[in-house]
């Protein structure tokens, strides 16, 4: 290659680089869309702006989103550990509830120029910081849908009288009546001649009233959330005739229960999947005392939070001698409290949200055994204002020494068995102490109930 040829090639490369630079600079001259957005199509009438939005605990990123006038789509990804959604209340649109890792498009259509509030409308999440602002058409655009007065303007804060009124109003609804009650003891359908206890369990899609007027599409065993409790004694044999009446496949796993591998309920490893309309028979012996849960192990991130869970207990948890000396001589009342925070049901205790949660009564001197079971996606520190509690078993294993406390942090999948003895008369609040799971400016909600101690 001659010197002249190399010179021409060098100038040619230089010209290409300069052209690329000008193309890049021109591409940056996008006065409409914010960082993280893209446009599709040509011309003002056809361009659709797409903005990437990320949800997590407890933020929406970016917090300030700008799009040009015209059609727009928010591409929403849940990068958190809990279920979230993205709602635009003033337009009446939102994504579905997104499980961790899921992505969905929120089509805004062609919104009018102005400012719009964005939030996650799962109870407690917006109060924890999951809010953002969308500006359409730039700061000089048309009407301000927030009522604030410009991009970024904070919504008007309610006055204290209105807050007090709303908080008292919801508190006085407790305990509100709703349709459906779950978790009751399930009696065997029959007992075979060899003593085997037979239970019929049906999985189906149902309508479930979580709180007054909030009716959701749920999945349930035998039509209730949580499912009926199955209780056995050590040495019992059990046969579960399981029928799937849902529109998708499923199975049953016995979490915390010692079973043969073939009965562990993890398709396709230990059994074939139970297809819609299909059946499966689970059969095993109750070998040892246990505090467990039966739940789905198929599409579990949706099927369990949406309602496919229930208590499964074997035998009894013994009262430690240390507590017997303090007057805990017998258990007068037993309560299974299944915790949830996700799916269609959301923040709830035994399938209900305050003010529809169930209150519990206890006389002074009586002992109540509570087993916390977490079927949600995050931990919940459960706090009873009175009386003091003692952990006597963890995941169905009795502790050598009881552990006292008024707040017990229950991680997903864990079970804690706690004894409470009525001491002081009154109505004592009982709730998750992640406060955005329990109370907002509009009043108590979600994971709140009460224990009523009577003389």
pLDDT of residue 291: 98
What does the alpha-carbon distance between residue 204 and residue 223 come to, in Å, rounded to a whole number?
7
Question: How many Cα atoms occupy the beta-carbon half-sphere of 276 within 13 Å?
Answer: 5
Q: What is the largest CA-CA distance in the chain?
A: 107
Which residue is it, tokens 């007090």?
Answer: 164
**Distance set, CA 49 to CA 52, 72, 108, 288 (Å):** 10, 5, 10, 60
Cis peptide before 178 (omega within 30 of 0): no
Which ranges of the chain have pLDDT less than 50?
1-36, 40-44, 139-155
pLDDT of residue 38: 53
Question: How many Cα atoms occupy the beta-carbon half-sphere of 372 within 13 Å?
Answer: 32
Q: Domain locations in the chain? A: 1-30, 37-150, 190-454
Three-state secondary structure call for residue 322: helix
**Residues of 143-159 as b/e, b for ≥16 C-beta within 10 angstroms?**
ebbbeeeebeeeeeeee
CATH of 190-454, one of 3.90.78.10, 3.20.20.70, 2.60.40.420, 1.10.3720.10: 2.60.40.420
Global pTM reads 0.75
Nearest partner of 410 among 388, 378, 370, judged by Cα: 378
pLDDT of residue 441: 87
pLDDT of residue 47: 85
Nearest partner of 124 among 341, 317, 284, 371, judged by Cα: 341
Which residue is it, tokens 């055994």?
Answer: 369
Same topology, domains 37-150 and 190-454? Answer is yes
The CATH architecture assigned to 37-150 reads: Sandwich (2.60)
């Amino acid at each position: 290659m001659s010197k002249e040829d190399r010179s021409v090639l060098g100038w040619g490369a230089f010209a290409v680089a300069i052209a690329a630079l000008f193309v890049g600079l021109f591409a940056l001259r996008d006065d409409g869309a914010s960082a993280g957005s893209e446009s599709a199509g040509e011309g003002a009438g056809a361009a659709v702006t797409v903005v990437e939005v990320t949800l997590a605990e407890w933020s929406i990123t970016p917090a300030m989103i700008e799009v040009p006038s015209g059609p727009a789509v928010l591409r929403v990804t849940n990068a958190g550990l809990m279920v979230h959604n993205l709602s635009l209340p003033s337009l009446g649109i939102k994504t579905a509830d997104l499980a961790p890792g899921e992505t969905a498009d929120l089509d805004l259509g062609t919104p009018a120029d102005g400012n719009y509030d964005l939030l996650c409308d799962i109870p407690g999440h917006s109060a924890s910081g999951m809010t953002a602002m969308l500006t359409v058409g730039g700061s000089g655009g048309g009407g301000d849908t927030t009522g604030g007065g410009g991009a970024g303007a904070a919504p008007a804060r309610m006055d204290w009288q209105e807050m007090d009124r709303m908080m008292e109003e919801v508190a006085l609804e407790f305990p509100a009546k709703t349709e459906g009650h779950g978790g009751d003891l399930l009696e065997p359908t029959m007992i075979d001649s060899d003593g085997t206890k037979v239970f019929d369990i049906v999985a189906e899609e149902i309508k479930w009233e979580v709180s007054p007027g909030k009716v959701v599409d749920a999945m349930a065993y035998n039509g209730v959330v949580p499912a009926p409790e199955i209780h056995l004694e050590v040495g019992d044999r059990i046969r579960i005739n399981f029928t799937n009446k849902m529109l998708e496949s499923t199975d049953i796993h016995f979490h915390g229960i010692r079973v043969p591998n073939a009965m562990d309920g993890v398709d396709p490893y230990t059994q074939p999947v139970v297809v819609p309309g299909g059946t499966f028979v689970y059969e095993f012996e109750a070998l040892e005392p246990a505090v467990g849960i039966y739940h789905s192990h198929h599409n579990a991130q949706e099927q369990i939070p949406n309602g496919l869970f229930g208590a499964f207990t074997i035998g009894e948890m013994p009262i430690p001698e240390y507590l017997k000396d303090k007057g805990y001589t017998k258990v007068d009342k037993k309560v299974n409290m299944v915790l949830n925070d996700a799916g269609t049901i959301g923040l709830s205790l035994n399938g209900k949200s305050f003010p529809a949660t169930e209150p519990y009564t206890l006389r002074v001197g009586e002992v109540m055994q509570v087993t916390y079971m977490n079927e949600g996606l995050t931990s919940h520190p459960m706090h009873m204002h009175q009386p003091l509690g003692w952990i006597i078993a963890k995941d169905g294993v009795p502790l050598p020494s009881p552990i006292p406390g008024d707040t017990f942090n229950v991680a997903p999948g864990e079970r804690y068995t706690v004894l409470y003895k009525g001491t002081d008369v009154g109505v004592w609040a009982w709730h998750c102490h992640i406060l955005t799971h329990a109370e907002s400016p509009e009043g108590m909600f979600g994971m709140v109930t009460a224990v009523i101690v009577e003389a």
